[in-house]
A and B are shown apart, each in its own frame.
Chain A
Amino acid sequence: MNCNEISRLISLQLDGEISLEQKAKLDEHISGCADCRKEMALQKALMASLTEVPAPAPSEDLGARIRAAVMSRPARIERVPLSYRVFAAAAIVMLSLAVIYLLSALQNIRVEASRTAAALAAVQKLAIAHPKEAPATVPTEAAVIEQVQVFRAVRDSVGGSCKWVVTDGNDVEIGATKSGATTAPQPAADLIVLNFEYSESELGKPLRVVSNPQFVFYSGSEVSVSLKGDSSEEPATKYRVSAEKLMGGGIRAMLNFTSECPSSGEDCNSIMTRTVLSPGKPMLIGAGENGNRRWQLKVWGVARPYNYRGPVNGTNPL
């Protein structure tokens, strides 16, 4: 073996990765080569120095800052690989470039979008801003602002017929008026922001959030949407929701919810309820057991004006 090859064996030796056969060759060569003996000694000294180079301790508050950074976003855990999310985001952008079909107002409605940069940006932002993650039950005010901004952006992009926007991870559904008639934005109009959290698990195991769609729609209007599960093992869910802001600040909501059994494809878990939500307070609106599985549905909601951009004078409306 030449000295160059021996230097590689020296490196393996220092890292404890040398085989017995390689070690024998190394020892044999070193015994007769002064240059390689010198190289061995030098690399050993360098190795020792590398190990001794100190690293400073982190600042004492680093742990607290990491916790704050983690908690400043809702406890969202990615549920799909990054490559899939990137692909999904790209697919949604492509969808906005392609034709988006206008269907019945009572079914999933996709409004034909003009091929504008604003439409691209709005839809792309939706996909990127709402990765498929498990949510916190209580979104932050920043998250609420973002949802309202997204609604405005989509409305501005696809036209004044937009009545509602529902995001669920990388999926975006848009609802329009039945007739397609457009209306000018009403800055003072109230928007209802509802976040749902649907969880399932096998009996005896912790509940796992299956989907967490976010709804933004005009107070007093209705949303009807079907959302697909992430995979064949996760149920599709259907929501029919109407809500209005009450004078006293509460949100009166009517909800029909159904989830599909992954195995049979039939509707299994369902809720039909009317309730009044306290703004900003999560509410468990349904739970049950179905065979060896249990489930629950929570909702959280607030009302915000259409042109809402954040709390005034630092007062957090939540």
Chain B
Amino acid sequence: MEQANVPILIDHARHGDQDAFGALMEMHKNAIFRVAFRLTGDEASADSVTQDTFVQAFRSLNQFQGRSQFKTWLYAIAVRKAADQRRESIRKRATKSLDITGGENMHMATTRDPSDVLQGKEFEQLLSAAITRLPEDQRAALVLVAQEKMSYRDAARALDCSEGTVAWRVWNARRLLKTMMKDHLPNFND
């Protein structure tokens, strides 16, 4: 369905038209699931976050004022729901926290020879795991900007912060990722 229909669908959905909301949901479901997966790191959590996002969106539709794109607004809800999900998982899990608040001692555990540069799927898996280990706010900023290709302005709206804060979080996330992955990255020399 064309993007131009979104405002019309929103207006209908606000008046209780569940079919209109269903159409909005179908348009954005995959993107929200993708973001949710990247924020939570597992499919079950992503599934739950996606459902919660659209239920909340349906209930809060009158709060969407059109100052940002509808998709950006959905992302904002998804980021909050993913954070809730993560806090809930941590509460339930009686294990050491995987949250790392920064620093240089964030090596990814590996049994491989650290000089090996990983390729393909194995690297992607390690990178995905590393992303989920980033501090929550940096992870969200990195996912929205670097993976979902949002502008700093849209990401700032979704994260309810300034563009400068988005830039700072993305920069820090990149530094942390580099530290976590440093044994598996190519050695770029002149």
Contacts and interface: CB of A to CB of B under 8 A. Distances in A.
Given A38-B189, A78-B62, A78-B63, A55 B177 contact: no
Interface in B52-73: 54-55, 58-63
A80 to B, nearest CB: 9
B108 interface: no
Interface stretch (A67-75, A116-124, A181-189): A67-75
A226 interface: no
Contact of A55 (B29, B38, B175): B38
B89 interface: no
Given A15-B170, A47-B146, A206 B54 contact: no
Interface string A172-215: 00000000000000000000000000000000001111000000
A16 to B, nearest CB: 8
A55 B21 CA distance: 25
Contacts of A52: 124
Interface residues of A, number: 52
Contact of B34 (A55, A59, A209): A55
Contacts of A81: 63
B86 interface: no
B162 interface: no
Contacts, number: 134
A143 to B, nearest CB: 15
Contacts of B171: 7-8, 11
A134 B51 CA distance: 21
Contact of B151 (A17, A41, A53, A54): A17
Interface residues of B, number: 51
Nearest to B53: A66
Contact of B124 (A7, A49, A69, A75): A49
B116 interface: no
Contacts of B175: 7
A67 B43 CA distance: 19
B165 interface: no
A66 B152 contact: no
Contacts of A8: 167, 171
A17 B16 contact: no
A53 B54 contact: no
Contacts of B34: 55
Nearest to B60: A78
A45 interface: yes
A136 B16 CA distance: 8
A222 interface: no
Contact of A70 (B14, B18, B46, B145): B18
Interface in A129-168: 131, 133-134, 136
A136 B59 CA distance: 12
A67 B18 contact: yes
A94 interface: no
B75 interface: no
A37 interface: yes
Interface string B77-121: 000000000000000000000000000000000000000000000
A47 B147 CA distance: 8
Contacts of B33: 55, 57-58, 62
19 contacts: A15-B146, A15-B152, A17-B151, A34-B190, A37-B188, A38-B188, A38-B189, A57-B30, A58-B29, A58-B46, A58-B50, A62-B50, A62-B51, A66-B25, A66-B55, A69-B55, A70-B21, A75-B18, A77-B59
Q: Which 8 A-B pairs have the closest CB atoms?
A: A41-B188, A58-B33, A11-B171, A75-B16, A55-B34, A55-B37, A38-B188, A50-B146
Interface of A: 7-8, 11-12, 14-17, 34, 37-38, 41-43, 45-47, 49-59, 62-63, 65-67, 69-71, 73, 75-79, 81-82, 131, 133-134, 136, 206-209
Given A58-B50, A67-B22, A73-B55, 4 more contacts: A55-B38, A62-B51, A70-B21, A73-B59
